[in-house]
Structure 1
C-alpha cells in the first residue's frame, strides 16, 4: 500500500502536529509491513524562528520518503503565515503529481493543509483521511478583528465544508469538537483520537520517580509551549509574577507571536521572577519538566478554546508533576475528571489562579492509569488501522 501524508510540521520540527505524525508514520510502518510505501510532504523546520534544526530536503529510509519544502523566513503574523502556506502548497503540487497513492492523509490545525489534502486526494483519485487538530473557522472569529472576519470567515467555512465532505473519514483530536462538527455535517461519521502520551515521556512515569516533597525555597513553575494569542500568557503571567513575588520562580520555554508583548509587560514590573528561554529539543524539555515543581498551562479567554484539548496536558500528566491550568469548557472538564492533582482556574483570572495554586499538593502523583489510557502508540495504532482499511477500500 502507498500512503501519501501531508503535514505542515514533521520532525525535527517542534510542534504537536510534528510529534503526532512521527508516531503515526511509525504505526503505519508496523501495520502495513516492509512492502508498503509512505511518502511525507512537509516543510523544513520552521515552527519557531528562534529554533533551528538541520534536515535534508529529501530523506529516504526504506519505504519511507520525506520531502521537506523550504519556506521563506517568517514570524507568527497572519500575513507571514499566509505566505508560508502558499509556498508550501505551490511546491507540494509538483510532489503530489509524482505519486500514485492508495490513500491520502492530511493533518491540519489551520485548515489549509486539510484543503490541500482534499485537492491531492481528488487529483490523484484516492480516498482522504483527514485529521483535524483545531477548528480554524471558529478560532479566527475569536482572535481576528471583526472587520477582518466578516469577509474571510465565509470563505474559510466553504473551504472547511469542501475538505470535510471530500474525506472518507474525519478524525477529531478533541471530543469537544463534536458539538461543532456534528450539526454542520450530520451525514458524516467522526472518530475521536486525541494526542496522547508519547513514548519519550513514559520513562519518566511517577513509578520511577521518588515521591519527593518540595525542597525549601521558591516554588519552580514551568510553562513550555507556544507564546501566541491562543495561549494568552501576556494576559496572566505578569499579574501572577507580581502577586506571588518571591514565593514562585517562573520559567517560560517557547516562542510565538505574543512573546514580545509578554516581555514588554514583564518589563513594566519593578521586579519579577520570570525567566524566558528559547524553544529546546525534547530531551532538554523533559529534563526541565523533571526540575520543575509545578507545570503551568493556559489558554486565552476566548470561546474557541473551550473546545480544544491541549497536547501539553498529556505531556504534563505523564510526568506526575502538579498541573496548574487556566482552562474553560471541555479542556477544564477533562483535566478535572482525568488528571489527579491538577488545579483549574478560569483563563486570565489572576485571583482565581492564585487560589487554585494554593490547592496543589507539591509532590509527584501516580498517573499510571491515565498514561495507559492515553498512550500515543495505542491511539496511533487505531488511526493506522483506519487508514489501512480506507486504503484497501474496506472502510466507507
Structure 2
C-alpha cells in the first residue's frame, strides 16, 4: 500500500504530531508499505528554519520515508495573525507542490493544524484518492479554549468548515474516545470515526542511559541530591507551565526542585518571571533534541503533565504521559477527563486539580517522602504503557484501517461486472 501523509510537522521537529507521524510511518515502511510525507521546512516552535535547511522545496529520505518539504512563511508559535498566515502559507504551498508526490492509494492529513487538513482534502480530491483526516486537536474549539480568540463570526465560519471537512473525509481518525464522542455529536456516523490513540516506541525508550552523560547533565543543572519535578514539552498557551514556577515559589522543602524544559509562546514570560524571583529551586532549560529527553526524564523523580483548567482539555491525552511511563517516572497529572482515567487506572501517578500550585507541591512532597509509593507507581507506569500503548501495534492497527478505507473506496468506484 502506498500512503501519502500530509502534516505541517515532521522530524527533526520533536513535537507530538511529528513524533506520532514518524513512528507510525517508520513501522509502515518496515512492514513493506510505501510512505510519502508532504510537510514543511522544519521551523517549529521558534519560527526559524533549522540549521542545514533552506526555506525552499526539498526532498529527502528518513528511515525509508520519502519527505517532500515545501517552502512557507515561517513564524514563531505565538501571535494570531502571523501564525495564521504561516498555517495558510503551508496549506497553499502543499497544494501547489502536491504534484511532485506520486499518487497514493490513500491520503491522510493531520490536524493540528487545521489548514493542513484542508490541504489534504483538496489534494485527495485533485488526485482522486480516498481521504482520511486525523484529528489530534479539536480546532477551532481549542483556539477559543486558550483565550487566543473569542467565539466570533470568524470562529463560527471555521466551525462550519470543520464540519464540512469531516463530511468530506472517507474516514476520520481521532486520538481519544472523547474526540470520537464530540465529532459524533456533529452528525458524523460513529462507524466512520476510529480511535488510534497516541503511544510510544518502547524499544527506543528502553535503551540504557550513559551514566557519565547523565551525571554531567545533573551537574550542569545543579541537581545533585535534589528531588526533581519536571515539565518537558511545549511552553504554550494551553499548558500553563508557569504553575511549576509558582509551585517552586511556595515550596518550603529545600531539596525539591521544579524544572521546565522547552520553548513556546509563553517561555519569554516565564523567563522574565524567574529573573524577577530568582528562585534557587526552579530551573528553566531550553528545548533539547529528542535524544536528550530520556536523560532529562532520567534526572527527574516526577514528571508533571499539565494543561489549562478548561473543559475542552478533558478530551485530551498528552503524549508526554507515555514518555514518563515508559521511563518509570511517576506522573503528577493536572489534566481532567480521559488522561486522568488512564493514569489512575494504571496506578501510574497522582492527580491534582489543574492550575493549583499548592496541590502540585503537596503531590511532589508526598512522592518524595514515600519511596515505596514512588517505586510502585514507577513500575505500574512502565508495565501499563508496554502492555497497551506500544507504537508498533498501534501503527499496524492504523495501517489495517487505511487498507480497508482504500479497498472500500476502490470497490465503490469500480463498476459492477
TM-score (norm 1): 0.89
Give the aligned partner of residue 126 of structure 1. 129
Residue pair 1:242, 1:272 contacting (<8 A) in 2 also: no
d(CA) in 1 for partners of 2:164, 2:391: 29
2:89 to 83, 87, 90: 87
User: Greater relative contact order (Cα 8 A, min sep 6): structure 1 or 2?
Assistant: 1
Deviation of residue 55 (structure 1)? 5.1
Give the aligned partner of residue 68 of structure 2. 67
Residue pair 1:343, 1:359 contacting (<8 A) in 2 also: no
What secondary structure does 1:26 align onto?
helix
Residue pair 2:27, 2:395 contacting (<8 A) in 1 also: yes
1:346 corresponds to 2:353: yes
d(CA) in 2 for partners of 1:297, 1:382: 27
2:239 to 231, 248, 256: 231
| 1:287–1:271 Cα change, 3 Å | closer
Deviation of residue 38 (structure 1)? 2.5
| 1:287–1:64 Cα change, 3 Å | closer
| 1:221–1:62 Cα change, 3 Å | closer
Deviation of residue 53 (structure 1)? 4.8
Deviation of residue 369 (structure 1)? 3.5
| 1:7–1:270 Cα change, 3 Å | closer
d(CA) in 1 for partners of 2:139, 2:265: 17
Residue pair 1:50, 1:255 contacting (<8 A) in 2 also: no
d(CA) in 2 for partners of 1:10, 1:343: 32
d(CA) in 2 for partners of 1:120, 1:391: 16
| 1:202–1:167 Cα change, 3 Å | farther
Give the aligned partner of residue 29 of structure 1. 29
Give the aligned partner of residue 2 of structure 1. 2
What secondary structure does 2:351 align onto?
strand
Deviation of residue 385 (structure 1)? 1.3
d(CA) in 2 for partners of 1:204, 1:74: 37
d(CA) in 2 for partners of 1:216, 1:89: 47
What secondary structure does 1:3 align onto?
strand
Residue pair 1:44, 1:55 contacting (<8 A) in 2 also: yes
d(CA) in 2 for partners of 1:383, 1:339: 27
What secondary structure does 1:240 align onto?
helix
2:206 to 195, 202, 206: 202
Deviations 1:78-98 (A, max 9, x none): 222212112211211122234
Deviation of residue 185 (structure 1)? 2.4
Structure 2 portions without partners, runs of 5+? 210-222, 368-372, 413-417
| 1:186–1:4 Cα change, 3 Å | closer
d(CA) in 1 for partners of 2:339, 2:62: 38
1:371 corresponds to 2:386: yes
What secondary structure does 1:300 align onto?
coil
Residue pair 2:38, 2:68 contacting (<8 A) in 1 also: yes
Deviations 1:40-99 (A, max 9, x none): 110121112288453582114797421112333411122222121122112111222344
Structure 1 portions without partners, runs of 5+? 206-214
305-314 or 80-89: bigger deviation: 80-89
TM-score (norm 2): 0.84
| 1:274–1:112 Cα change, 3 Å | same
Residue pair 1:240, 1:354 contacting (<8 A) in 2 also: yes
1:169 corresponds to 2:177: no
Deviations 1:295-354 (A, max 9, x none): 1111111221111000000111111112112112222222211242x0110111122222
What root-mean-square deviation, in Å, do the aligned CA atoms of Structure 1 and Structure 2 show? 2.5
Give the aligned partner of residue 333 of structure 1. 341
What secondary structure does 2:277 align onto?
coil
1:278 to 286, 290, 294: 286
1:154 to 144, 153, 156: 156
Residue pair 1:204, 1:319 contacting (<8 A) in 2 also: no
d(CA) in 1 for partners of 2:353, 2:393: 32
1:54 corresponds to 2:52: yes
Deviation of residue 144 (structure 1)? 2.9
| 1:186–1:3 Cα change, 3 Å | closer
1:244 to 241, 246, 251: 251
1:139 to 133, 138, 142: 142
Residue pair 1:339, 1:370 contacting (<8 A) in 2 also: no
Residue pair 2:303, 2:329 contacting (<8 A) in 1 also: yes
